Structure 1
Amino acid sequence: AQCYYDLGYTLVATSPDKALEFINKSLEIRLEILPEDHATIGLCHHNIGVAYYNKSMFDEAIKHYKEAIKIYEKHLFDEEEYQYNVTECYKLCHSNIAEIYTKQGDYDSAFNFKMKVLTIDKKTCHLTEKEKEAQCYYDLGYALVATSPDKALEFTNKSLEIRLEILPEDHVTIGFCHQDIGRAYYNKSMFNEATKHYKEAIEIYEKAVSTTKKTCRLTEKEKEAQCYYDLGYTLVATSPDKALEFINKSLEIRLEILPEDHATIG
């Protein structure tokens, strides 16, 4: 059973049909020889779910993820050590189901599963219900910002609204909301609105860290050269003439202040 499982696990990303064949064989053997709620049977269902996800058979994936969840719930506090972390697998199944529901546009179900993930995760289980709610709305918006910017704006603005109620107005997570609202507006080609929210985010980030560790040691001239380089780099594919202008300006400054064989001149 373990060998069939391992074969299937190895193939789940590249050959999901073959993975299903092997993991189902493992499941069949385990159901013959183990209790039906044994943790390794949960693992089979989990990875059958992953295989169906990779085949875009989302309803089948959800079905097996939920089977895995039922089994994992019985083993969260086992003293026995397994070859994998049951709690992490339990959390991952919830996360994967939330992702599918988001793809399917069932945002209420996605929200509920995301809330469960935050409750399970050691990094977020201490958050208040309102903080978790704000994080779930933020995560939904983040997932949709490239494909459905209007929906992303709805969710990220909801997250922002909650965070402004419960957190200091310069809290870094409020900066995250403004940044992603900016991204959504950018993806809608509403550049003035995007700029406005990016600037809001910058103001908050500046209070959190005045300068980054990587660049705080630079002189003003070095920072200036880096800015010209970054502008040029951003434009090199779309506006090569403008890119040349900025990168040549960066090169000119660096040749004044750095050894001619400095890596940044290269």
Structure 2
Amino acid sequence: MLANCHMDIDRAMYDITSYDNALKHYEASLTIRKNELGECHSEVGISYSCIGAALCRQGEMYRSLENLHRTIKILEQTLSSNNLELAETYNSLGLTYFTLNNLQQVANYFQKSLNIHLQVLPKDHPAIGFAYNKLSRFLRTINAMSKYY
């Protein structure tokens, strides 16, 4: 499928920090997927997520958030509420909000991501450890900041 070829190219571009080129291919993949699958398909949501990640790497936080929220809207309609793709998107939202210093949203999305990991994965799975670690680092940051403000 042509959309998957674009996704493979853009992942390679993304990995070598060529975010402008990656973004072009992600957008091409999105267009193809929307034409082939319709607006409300999980693969379309994943394309929006990839665009959001590339925009975040370019410092385009608000545009990144727009795409990540589109991802959530689509994935919540097309996948089960405990799907790991949804958890990863919640995590990406948390990281983006952290960059914007919107701390309430960070906690909300990190917790949503952790909750899905806890529902789906075995309790000793490394992803659960990473999710707990991310949430605890965030909480330590908040605690340290509160000492100064």
Letter in 2 for 1:8: D
2:75 aligned residue = 72
Q: Is the 8 A contact 1:118 1:124 kept in 2?
A: no
User: Structure 1, residues 2-36: CA drift from partner, whole Å, max 9, x if none?
Assistant: 11121112212411100010110111112122121
Identify the residue that residue 7 of structure 1 maps to in structure 2.
9
Equivalent residues, number: 134
Deviation digits for residues 41-78 of structure 1, max 9, x if unmatched? 0111010011011111111111111111111112323x
- Residue 125 of structure 2 aligns with which residue? none
CA distance in 2, matches of 1:2, 1:91: 22
Please tell me whether the aligned partners of residues 111 and 135 of structure 2 are also in contact (alpha carbons under 8 angstroms).
no
Give per-residue Cα distances to partners, 1:189-223, cap 9 Å, x unaligned.
Answer: xxxxxxxxxxxxxxxxxxxxxxxxxxxxxxxxxxx
Structure-2 separation of matches of 1:106 and 1:20: 25
**8 Å contact kept, 1:141–1:152:** no
SS in 1 for 2:66: helix
1:13-32 correspondence runs (5 A): 13=15, 14-32=17-35
Match of 2:91 in 1: 95
- Aligned-partner Cα distance in 2 for 1:38–1:137: 30
Q: Which has the higher helix share?
A: 2
Structure with the larger RCO, 1 or 2 (CA within 8 Å, 6+ apart): 2
Counterpart of 1:66 in structure 2: which amino acid?
H
CA distance in 1, matches of 2:8, 2:146: 39
Mind listing any 5+ residue stretches in structure 2 that lack a counterpart? 122-131
| Distance in 1 (alpha carbons) for counterparts of 2:37 and 2:28 | 14
Give the distance between the partners of 2:4 and 2:109, measured in 1 at CA: 30
Contact 1:141–1:151 (CA under 8 A) maintained in structure 2: no
3-state SS of paired residue (1:105): coil
Note if 1:106 corresponds to 2:109.
Answer: no
What one-letter code is carried by the residue in structure 1 that aligns with 2:72?
A: I
Secondary structure in 2 matching 1:37 = coil
8 Å Cα contact 1:12/1:50 also seen in 2: no
Runs of 5+ unmatched residues, structure 1: 78-85, 126-134, 155-266
State the one-letter code of the partner of 1:150: A
Q: 1:52 aligns with which of 55, 59, 81?
A: 55
User: Hey, what's the Cα distance between the residues in 2 that align with 1:124 and 1:34?
Assistant: 27
Bigger radius of gyration:
1
Q: Which runs of 4+ in 1 moved over 4 A?
A: none
C-alpha distance in 2 between matches for 1:55 and 1:152 = 29
1:149 & 1:115 partners in 2: Cα distance?
17
- Please give the per-residue CA displacement for 1:94-134, whole angstroms capped at 9, x wherever unaligned: 11111121222211111111221122112699xxxxxxxxx
1:99/1:116 Cα in 2 relative to 1: closer, same or farther (>3 Å)? same
